[in-house]
Amino acid sequence: MAKRDYYEILGVSKGIDAKELKKAYRKLAMKYHPDRNPDDKDADAKFKEATEAYEILGDQQKRAAYDQYGHAGVDPNAAGGGFGGGGGNFSDVFGDVFGDIFGGGGGGGGRRGGPQRGSDLRYTMDLSLEEAVRGIEKKIRVPTLTSCDPCGGSGAKPGTKPKTCGTCGGAGQVRMQQGFFSVQQTCPSCRGQGTMIDDPCNSCHGRGVKEETKTLSVKIPPGVDTGDRIRLSGEGEAGAMGGPAGDLYVQVSVREHELFHRDGRNLYCDVPISIVDAALGGELEIPTLDGRVKLKIPAETQSGKLFRLRGKGVTPVRGGAAGDLLCRVQVETPVNLNSNQKDLLMKFQESLTGEKHSPQKKTWFEGVKRFFEDI
């Protein structure tokens, strides 16, 4: 199936500048990112499509080739050659779009043939609502790849060094001329590394890294919510050929609470009350994350009414005033009544005459009457 035009995918014109192009991609990436659409395959496909378009149009050299030759000019598998590998611009915008709450994230590996940045890791941390609201420090154990100490991450036996590949001259790629076009391919001798190891390290067998489990202390700031990420710089996998380590992203997941439901900075709580308290009024003891408070229930309170306790919600992690606790009262119908209690209720029902005791009943029946008349 023919590929769509990259400009069409991003919804921009050919003359767009780099700043506006980046803005257009950011908007689509935020909309279709898999973390925001976990079960939507169509959104995942659109995210990948937009990312591919930006990787090409965000690079000046690739964009020029695409404008002149179309998809054939940027496809490394096409007869026309193209430009292989990812550009730095994609790494930049990835950090802008998916940065965590303390700063930009983003992958971005090193160039072929030299030190390469290690992979980023993700760790999902389950928190209770109380821990998320108040903040906490936790220790986690993370399996990862760390730099080999004996060889310093070079992969070569201590006292020796990797030598530059004679085939590609250290570039990691070789260029092949095919008529008018030239094609870049991974060097078959060094497999894209740019160097060759004659005498590999006995500890890591030439890999430059080794598997290890490390314990880290993570400070969770007050106010985090599900979906927030905390970046631990340099705590990801070790880089290849002595390159810098990647980052570790701690993904926050807050468990459901028995009493409270969080919506942003506000908390919601359902409070059951008896028909006597609803009719005559009363005072209830309400739990909050800071302790217990008294809530006055006025007489003639209807089921579903919301009572707001200001400042008893959550202070957002990014700052601002604390939210509120909204208590929704639910009038409970008595159950397991004995015969005497049933007789009292029947007498009470008979004592209610007219419509003044049921403020919503008359309005509801009038609506039902109009509904059937319109059919």
Per-residue pLDDT, averaged over 134-144, amounts to 89
User: Which one of 255, 270, 304 terminates a domain?
Assistant: 255
pLDDT tens digits, one per residue of 67-93? 887 877 777 655 444 444 444 434 444
E strands along the chain, which residues? 121-127, 136-147, 163-164, 173-178, 181-186, 195-196, 209-220, 229-232, 248-254, 260-263, 266-273, 282-288, 291-297, 306-309, 325-331
183 falls within a domain? no
Flag whether 372 is in a domain: no
Name the pLDDT band for 97 (thresholds 50, 70, 90): very low
Residue 187 vs residue 138, higher pLDDT:
138
Q: Which domain holds residue 85?
A: 1-98
Q: What CATH number does the domain containing 25 carry?
A: 1.10.287.110
Q: Are residues 207 and 281 in the same domain?
A: no
pLDDT digits (tens, 9 = 90+) for 163-212: 888 888 778 888 776 555 567 788 888 877 788 888 888 888 777 777 87
Residues 83 and 140 both lie in one domain: no
Which CATH number belongs to the domain containing residue 142 in this structure? 2.60.260.20
- Domain finish residue from 98, 129, 148: 98
pLDDT in tens, 29-82: 888 877 777 778 888 888 888 888 888 898 888 888 888 878 777 776 554 444
Q: In terms of domains, do 125 and 232 share one?
A: yes
Tell me the C-alpha distance between 204 and 212, whole Å: 12
Spatial contact of 215 and 90, defined as CB atoms under 8 Å apart: no
**Does one domain contain both 5 and 21?**
yes
Phi-psi region of 341 (alpha: psi -120 to 50; beta: other; left: phi over 0): alpha
Per the domain annotation, does 6 fall within a domain?
yes
293 and 211 in one domain?
A: no
Q: Is the pLDDT of residue 106 over 60?
A: no
Rounded Cα–Cα distance for residues 279 and 146 (Å) = 67
38 and 146 part of one domain: no
Same domain? For 245 and 126 the reply is: yes
What is the reported pLDDT for 152? Answer: 78
Mean pLDDT for 104-132 is 71
* Within a domain: 41: yes
Asked whether residue 17 falls in the same domain as residue 94, the answer is yes
**117 and 216 both lie in a single domain:** yes
pLDDT above 90 (res 310): yes
How far apart CA 58 and CA 97 sit, in angstroms, is 15
Across the range 132-148, mean pLDDT stands at 87
Q: How many domains does the chain have?
A: 3
Report if residue 328 sits inside a domain.
Answer: yes
**Sign of the CA dihedral 41, 103, 19, 64?**
negative
Q: Tell me, what's the pLDDT at 367?
A: 78
- pLDDT given for residue 269 in this prediction: 95
Partnered with residue 195 across adjacent β-strands are 164
Asked if the structure places residue 180 within a domain, the reply is no
User: What does the block give as tokens for 327?
Assistant: 């208590």
Residue 374, domain member (yes or no)? no
Amino acid 1: pLDDT: 57
What's the average model confidence in pLDDT over 283-297? Answer: 91
Last residue of a domain, one of 98, 130, 145: 98
Q: 223 with 129, same domain?
A: yes
Supply the pLDDT for residue 92. 42
172 lies in a domain? no
Question: pLDDT, tens digit, for every residue of 224-270?
Answer: 999 999 999 988 887 766 678 889 999 999 999 999 999 999 999 99
Which of 242, 148, 163 is closest to 203 using CA atoms? Answer: 148
Q: Are residues 122 and 241 in the same domain?
A: yes
118 & 146 share domain: yes
pLDDT of residue 329: 94
The per-residue pLDDT for 354 is: 61
Residue 181's pLDDT is what?
A: 56
